[in-house]
Structure 1
Amino acid sequence: MEHVSRVLTRGIAGHSVWRYLLNSAVVALGTVLAGSVVALLAATAVARFRFRFRTTFLILLLIVQMIPAEALLIPLFLMVRRLGLYDQLLGLVVVNVGFTLPFAIWMLRTFVAAVPKELEEAAAIDGAGRLVTFWRVLFPLVAPGLVATSIFSFITAWNEFVFALTLINDQGGYTMPVALGFFTSQRSTDWGGIMAASTLMTIPVIVFFLLVQRRMVSGLVAGAVKG
């Protein structure tokens, strides 16, 4: 508790620890929200529609997952700087969304494909349009998969280090994983500070998981009953 109190009162590298936690929260939640919308729409298109190069698109998603993040670091840095998003949390969100999308699309595709088409056809016969069918029929049944991908995206963006260190220059804009590096110097390492800050860093992840756990379980039960 002594080290935790010291980190909370003194901060890290002249900045409050809450600032670093807030930066991480903005990046993680932005990644979850933007990535979930894009992944759900893409997964629905892949699972429900037949188009040219559909299989090629799915294979490319797997290939992208095999590429190490370090190999994409320089191209992403140049792209973010050209877009004017360097040293901004928005640029980090965009990169994290692109990094988590392939897995999210593959996972959500399975959930969308598991929903019987007859449910959507029945809604169409009753006069529901595509948007109403998507929101009232498909979305509630795919919600458990959306929660699962959200957990993956949140944890990935929350713990991401390499992109945050490269794309953010201002120390006040660092995320929590990068801020932990301030406890290490050439002469010594403040292990007490690292463990205290790491403990504080894990609390939001646990809270996020507890918040979405009930929705995931209730969504699974509701999906089984509606199916």
Structure 2
Amino acid sequence: MAATEPALFAPPTHADTRSARNRHKHWWNVLAVALAALWAFPIYWMINSALMPAERLRSTPPLLAPLEPTLRSFGEILGDSLFWRSLGFSAAVTGLAVAISLVSAVLAAVALSRFTFFGRRGALVAVLVVQMIPAEALFISQYRMLDGWGLLGSVPGLSLLYVGLIVPFTVWMLKGFVDGVPVELEEAAMMDGCSRFGAFFRVTFPLLGPGLVATGVFGFLVAWNEFTLAYVVLASGDRLTLPVWLRTFSSNLQETDWAGVMAGSTLVAVPVLIVFVLVQNAMTKGMVAGAVKG
């Protein structure tokens, strides 16, 4: 009688399965690192160019690392009074625009989510249509409007335009967060003696913390980085936002100071990084508070 032959296709063991999973996980990690490096390269190149002497920027082949790093471009910018005035102007415009946008968006989102009224669906569609209108189509009317009100080149004037730019999308975002809070929580609070206004601010509003942070970050990024509206509206040479201020490094008669542009871009990005660091903590606290109160 012939001896039993070994099976040609043995079933995979637990060790083989785990090894295959580890190989797949390894390649996914490699892909993630490669994509992260690709995404971070423009940021590295900006900082690298800011630290490089101006005469080295156009060297051939390009230098991937500053052999003689210098902070001269940063020093020139930090010593420029126009940079600090532009920083203060951008901070004031962005802060005012985000604050007004959040208040308006919260009220609109609650009304669209909690109340049923004639034209509610049309209002939702109108918000979406307004978001789809190109900003360039409104430049002339916006300029004439601010000119008639005497708000050209002012913080309230530019903030008003940014509010119109930010509010439509933030209404849609916040409406989703309000829809996610069960209306039964407000009804239970009203049964315990709260008014509708009190139930909203005692129960619903604290649970909207993550949504308010997310929409606030969106509004901050739009207002902080916006260029075209500010360039059209700000007629005065000494009242500029930071994106418009960056344009002062180039002109039609002189070549662009790329070292200054890169150093200025790096400094403009610093407040954005600070906001994101603060937002991470705020979002964590908001989600924890929502879980406790829900």
Could you say whether these structures have the same fold, taking a TM-score greater than 0.5 normalized by the shorter chain as the test? yes
| 2:196 equivalent to 1:130 | yes
Per the TM alignment, residue 84 of structure 1 is displaced from its structure 2 partner at its CA by: 2.2
| 2:274 equivalent to 1:207 | yes
Write out aligned runs for 1:67-216 (5 A): 67-186=133-252, 187-216=254-283
User: Which TM-score applies when normalising by structure 1?
Assistant: 0.95
Higher-Rg structure is 2
List runs of 5+ in structure 2 lacking aligned partners.
1-70
| Structure 1 or 2: more helix by fraction | 1
- Is the contact between residue 89 and residue 173 of structure 1 (CA under 8 Å) also seen in structure 2? no
Per the TM alignment, residue 16 of structure 1 is displaced from its structure 2 partner at its CA by: 3.0
User: Which TM-score applies when normalising by structure 2?
Assistant: 0.74
- Is the contact between residue 23 and residue 89 of structure 1 (CA under 8 Å) also seen in structure 2? yes
Per the TM alignment, residue 39 of structure 1 is displaced from its structure 2 partner at its CA by: 0.4
Opposite residue 188 of structure 1, the aligned amino acid is E
Matches of 1:50 and 1:199, distance apart in 2: 48
Which of structures 1 and 2 has the larger relative contact order (alpha carbons within 8 angstroms, sep 6+)? 1
Could you say which residue in structure 2 is the equivalent of 1:5? 75
Write out aligned runs for 1:9-88 (5 A): 9=79, 11=80, 15-88=81-154
- Structure 1 outlier segments of 4+, above 4 Å: none
Residues 79-112 of structure 1: CA deviation (Å, up to 9, x unaligned):
2222221121110001101110000000000000
Matches of 2:237 and 2:247, distance apart in 1: 11
Please state whether the residue corresponding to 1:172 is helix, strand or coil. coil
- Is the contact between residue 62 and residue 102 of structure 1 (CA under 8 Å) also seen in structure 2? yes
Percent identity between the two aligned chains? 47
Matches of 1:124 and 1:166, distance apart in 2: 49
Please state whether the residue corresponding to 2:235 is helix, strand or coil. coil
Could you say which residue in structure 1 is the equivalent of 2:37? none
- Is the contact between residue 203 and residue 293 of structure 2 (CA under 8 Å) also seen in structure 1? no
Per the TM alignment, residue 72 of structure 1 is displaced from its structure 2 partner at its CA by: 1.2
RMSD: 1.1
Matches of 1:223 and 1:117, distance apart in 2: 15
Per the TM alignment, residue 116 of structure 1 is displaced from its structure 2 partner at its CA by: 0.6
